[in-house]
Amino acid sequence: MTTTIGSTVLGYPRIGPHRELKRALESYWAGRSSEAELRDVARTLRTNTWRELSDAGLDSVPSNTFSYYDQVLDTAVTFGAVPRRYTDLGANALDTYFAMARGNDSVPPLEMTKWFDTNYHYLVPEIGPDTSFALTDRTPIEQYREAAALGVTTRPVLVGPVTFLLLAKPDGSAPATFRPLDRLGDLLACYAELLRELHHAGAEWVQLDEPAFTADRSPAEKERLGHAYRVLGDLTERPKVFVPTYFGDAGESLHTLATAPIEAVGVDLVAGPVSPDRLPGITGLRDKTLVAGLVDGRNIWRTDLDSALCTAATLLGVAGNVAVSTSCSLLHVPYDAEAETSIDPQVKSWLAFAKQKVDEVVTLGRALSEGREAVGAELNASREAIADRGASERLRNERVRSRVDTLRPGDYRRSECATRRPAQQHALRLPPLPTTTIGSFPQTADVRKARAALRNGTIDRTSYHQRMVDEIQRVIALQEEIGLDVLVHGEPERNDMVQYFSEHMEGFVSTDNGWVQSYGSRCVRPPILFGDVARPRSITTEWAKIAQSLTDKPVKGMLTGPVTILAWSFVRDDQPLEDTAAQVALAIRDEVVDLEATGIRVIQVDEPALRELLPLRAEQQRDYLRWAVDAFRLATSGVAERTQIHTHLCYSEFGEVIDAIVALDADVTSIEAARSRMEVLDDLNAVGFGRGVGPGVYDIHSPRVPQTDEVEKLLRAALESMPAERLWVNPDCGLKTRGYAEVDSALRSMVAAAAQVRGSL
C-alpha cells in the first residue's frame, strides 16, 4: 500500500469510451431495459476505468468518480439532502434519483446550471433550515470495496462540504436571510461519519474537492473553509484527506488549506498558475503532499513535459512531497485520441485525451521519483511532438495575421443605433411587435437520416442538397401560413451550431468520437481549433438565398458568434484567446458581409455562450468582456446602417455581463425571459439599453404549448417597461429539439397574441 500520493488524476470520464452509459441510461429511461441491466453497464465501466488507471501506473487511483448523472447530485443523495417532493413519490432509490435529475410527470427536476466556467452542468441542491442531513447512501464506501475486490486500492472522491453548500440554493421554506452554508456544522457531522466508515473499510485516502475557492469568496466563506478542514482534520478515525482546488488560483484559501490538519493539497497549475515564488510563503506545506496539477484536464493538447518538470522542480523545496496530477478531473476531455481515425495524422500527433493524459502524469511522476533517465524515451517523444507543433506551418495563415494586425477602431463600430433604427424600419417595414423565431426548426428524423446517409455515402451531395431545400421550403411555407413577420430558413443543414461552422473553416478539425459529457446522458463533440482561422468561401449564403427566394418577407440570416465558437471548441493554447477570437470574428464578419450582399436584410449572430467564458475572478472579467465584445462588434460592423443585426443570448440573468450586452450594440437582442416573467426588461432599462429586445414569450425547453392569453399577458407585462416600437415577439430559444405538432400550435398562439396586443396599441 502506498503511504503517499505520487501520481494521480483528479477524476476520469464516465460516460463510456463509446458512450455506453448514455445508451444504457436512455434505454432504461425509455423502459426498454431493467435496473439490473443499467447497473451492470455501470459496473463494467467502473471496473474498466480502475483497471486502466491502475495498469497505466498511477499510484493513487480515484474512485466514486462514476455517476449515473452528476456528482453534485450524488453528494446530495449521499448526505440525504433530497427535497420532500421527491421522497414523497415513494419510488425506489434509483428512480428517486432520476426524478431529481430529470423530473417526471408529477415533479419538475432540480435546477441545472453550469459547473464553474466549464460546459458541464450540475444539478443545484436545495438546502433549507429543515434539510435533515444523514449519511443515507453509502455508494462511496461500496465503490471503494468494489474496486478493492478487484485488487485496486482507490481514493474515494467527493465534492467537499463547503463547495457543496456554496453550490446549493436555499429551498422554498428558507427565510430570506438563510444561506445553505449556515448548515455546515450539520453537514460536517455526516462527512465525519462517512470518513470514519471509509477508514474502517480500509480507505487510506479520501479526496474532497473544493473548486469553489478559485472564484471570489467572502471572508466569512473563506473562514468556513478553514473551519471545515480543522473539524475533519481533527477526527481520529479517518483516511488521509486530500483537498484539491481547481479551475484557477485558490489565492488565500491555499494558505488556509496548507495550515489545516490535512495531508494533501492540490493546485491547478494550468488554469491558475500559482507563482511558485508564492508557495514558499505558504507555511504548512512542508509536512504535506502538494499535488501539482500540471497536466491540463480541460484541453486536448499534449503536455510540454519538460516545462511541466521545471515547474515541478521549483515546488520540490516547498512541500514535504510533490505529487503529479491533472489540473482538474478529466471529465472535461474525451477518452482516447488514439481511437480517432480520421483526424489528420499530424494534428493527431499533437493531441492527448484522457488516456494519454494519464500516461503523461505517470511519466512526470516517474521522472520525479526515479529521475528523468528512467523516462527518457517518453520525454523525447513529447519534446518532438511539441517541437513539431510549434514549428508547423499549418498553424499560420499570414493573410489572416496581417488582417488582424491592421484592424482599425472603425472596424469595430457602426453608426449610432438611434440613426440605424429609422434606416432599418424603412428597409424592412415591419409592424409593431414583429414576430420571429430564434433560428432552428425541429430537426426531424428525416433530416438527421439524410445527414447520416451523406456521411455513409448512401446518398450523394446533390440529393442531400435537394433534401435540405425541400425542408427549407416546408419551413418557409409554414412560417408564412402562421403569419410570422421575420422568417428563418430553419437550420436543417446544421448538425450543431458550432461544429457546422468549424467544418467550413480552416484551422479546425473534427473528431469522430471525441465526446464529452455536458449533463446526464447528453454529450457534445467539440471541434478542435488548432491553427489560424480562415473562411475560404461563404458558408451560409446559398441556403439563405434559397430561403429568401421563397418569400417576400425578410429572411433572417443565422450565424454563430465568435465567442460561442471558442467556448464550445477545444482551443489552441499557444496564443491568447483574444487573438484567436479576432480571427474567428473576421471569418464571421466576412459571412455577415456576404449575407448582406445576397440581399439578406436581417442577420442574427448568436452568442449564447457569452457568459459561459466569463472568468471566475472579478479582476479578470473586465479584460475578458472587453475582447469578447470587441469580437462580436468586429463580426457585425461590416454592414450598412439599414442592415439589422440581431443577437440571441440563452439566459436572462445578466448580472456582471449587462454592460457588455449593451456594448454588443446589436439592433435587436433576443433573450430567455419566459421563466423569469419579463423582469429582465427592467434590468436592461436600468442601464439605458435603448435597442430592440425580444424577451422569449414561451419556454421551448418544455413540450407544453402556451395558450394565446398567457403569451398576451406576458407581452402586456413587457409593454409596461418597453415601448412597443422596440419590443419583438419570439420563443426563448431555437426549436431544434421540439416536434412539429407543438411548434405549430405554439407559434400560432404567439402570433395570435401579438396580433391582439397590436390591435390595442
Taking the complex as a whole, the smallest distance from the CB of residue 119 to ligand GLN amounts, in Å, to 12
Residue 298's nearest CA partner among 670, 37, 613, 38 is 613
User: Taking the chain, what is the end-to-end CA distance rounded to the nearest angstrom?
Assistant: 78
Ligand-binding site membership of 440 (annotated): yes
648 is in an annotated binding site: yes
Residue 612 marked in a binding site: yes
Burial 141-162 (b: 16+ CB within 10 A, else e): bebbbbbbeeebbbbbbbbbbb
Q: How far is the CB of 669 from ligand GLN (least distance, A)?
A: 12
Check whether 439 is labelled as a binding-site residue: yes
Cα separation, 136 vs 144, in Å, equals 17
**What is the rounded distance in angstroms from the CA atom of residue 673 to the CA atom of residue 628?**
23
Q: Which of 733, 735, 743, 752 binds Zn ion (CB under 5 A)?
A: 733
- Cα separation, 547 vs 734, in Å, equals 18
The DSSP symbol for 528 reads E
Query: What string marks each residue from 609 to 648 as x (binds ligand GLN by CB under 6 A) or -?
Result: ---------------------------------------x
Q: Is 19 annotated as a binding residue?
A: yes
Going by C-alpha positions, the residue among 142, 130, 235 that lies closest to residue 193 is: 235
The one segment of 275-283, 384-392, 515-523, 729-737 that binds ligand GLN by CB under 6 A: 729-737
Cell of 146: 468494489
**Is 200 annotated in some ligand binding site?**
no
User: What does the per-residue mask of binding to ligand GLN show for 455-494, with x meaning CB under 6 A?
Assistant: ------------------------------------x---
Torsions phi, psi for 256 (to 5 deg)? -55, -45
Q: In whole angstroms, what is the distance from residue 519 CA to residue 358 CA?
A: 23
Q: How far apart are CA 449 and CA 454, in angstroms?
A: 9
For the bound state, the minimum distance from the C-beta of residue 86 to ligand GLN, rounded and expressed in Å, comes to 29
Instruction: Kindly state the helix (H) or strand (E) to which residue 665 belongs, with its residue range.
Output: none
- Tell whether residue 21 is among the known ligand binding residues: yes
Least Å from the CB of residue 508 to ligand GLN = 19
Distance CA 498, CA 516 (A): 15
Tell me which stretch binds ligand GLN (CB under 6 A): 93-101, 245-253, 703-711, 731-739.
731-739
Residue 734 touches ligand GLN, criterion: CB under 6 A: yes
Apex 307 CA angle, 305 and 311, nearest 5:
110
Calpha distance 697→546 (Å, rounded): 29
Strand order from edge to edge, sheet including 668-671: 556-560, 602-606, 644-649, 668-671, 692-695
Question: What's the CA dihedral at 12, 15, 19, 22 to 10 degrees?
Answer: 180
Q: What pairing do the DSSP bridges indicate for beta strands 169-170 and 126-127?
A: parallel
Closest CA to 273 of 327, 211, 310: 327
Are 573 and 270 within 8 A, CB to CB? no
Strand 516-519 relative to strand 522-524, pairing: antiparallel
Per CB under 5 A, the segment of 120-128, 571-579, 630-638, 731-739 that binds Zn ion is: 731-739
Which C-beta is closer to ligand GLN: that of 159 or that of 497? Answer: 497
CB of 732 to ligand GLN, least distance (A): 9
Query: In angstroms, what is the minimal distance from the CB of 627 to ligand GLN?
Result: 21
Choose the contact partner of 322 out of ligand GLN, Zn ion, none; CB within 5 to 8 A by kind.
Answer: none
199 catalytic per annotation: no
Q: What are the φ and ψ backbone dihedral angles of 468, each rounded to 5 degrees? A: -70, -40
Site for ligand GLN in 644-683 (CB under 6 A): 648, 650
Is 438 marked as a binding-site residue?
yes
Minimum gap (Å) between residue 735 Cβ and Zn ion: 10
Residue least distant from ligand GLN (Cβ): 734
User: Active site residue: 18, 200, 426, 701, which one?
Assistant: 701
Phi and psi based region of residue 507 (left: phi greater than 0; alpha: psi -120 to 50; beta: remaining): left
165 backbone φψ class: left, alpha, beta (φ>0; ψ -120 to 50): alpha
- When asked if residue 608 is in the footprint of ligand GLN (CB under 6 A), the reply is yes
Residue position matching grid coordinates 473553416: 505
Q: Which option in ligand GLN, Zn ion, none does residue 553 bind, with CB closer than 5 to 8 A by kind?
A: none
**Segment lying near Zn ion (by CB under 5 A), choices 80-88, 198-206, 256-264, 648-656:** 648-656
Please identify, using beta-carbon distances, which residue of 170 and 696 lies nearer to Zn ion: 696
Choice between 272 and 608, CB closer to ligand GLN: 608
Stretch that binds Zn ion, among 21-29, 68-76, 277-285, 602-610 (CB under 5 A): 602-610
Decide if residue 697 touches Zn ion (CB under 5 A).
Answer: no
Residue 108 makes CB contacts below 8 A (sequence gap 6+) with none
Q: Is 672 annotated as a binding residue?
A: yes
Q: Which of 165, 195, 322, 497 binds ligand GLN (CB under 6 A)?
A: 497
* DSSP symbol at 343: S
CB of 1 to Zn ion, least distance (A): 51
The site for ligand GLN, by CB under 6 A, has a size of 13
Q: Which stretch binds ligand GLN (CB under 6 A): 86-94, 278-286, 434-442, 617-625?
A: 434-442
Site for ligand GLN in 736-755 (CB under 6 A): 736
Give the span between the Cα atoms of 73 and 185, in whole angstroms: 20
Q: Which is nearer to ligand GLN, 365 or 439 (CB)?
A: 439
**CA 106 from chain center: how many Å?**
29
Tell me which residues touch ligand GLN (CB under 6 A): 438-440, 491, 497, 558, 606, 608, 648, 650, 733-734, 736
Residue ranges of the binding site for L-homocysteine: 438-440, 491, 606
Residues near Zn ion (CB under 5 A) are: 608, 650, 733
Q: Which residues are catalytic?
A: 701
* Residues in binding site: 19-22, 114, 119, 438-440, 491, 522-523, 568, 606, 612, 648, 650, 672, 733
Binding site residue list for 5-methyltetrahydropteroyltri-L-glutamate: 19-22, 114, 119, 522-523, 568, 612
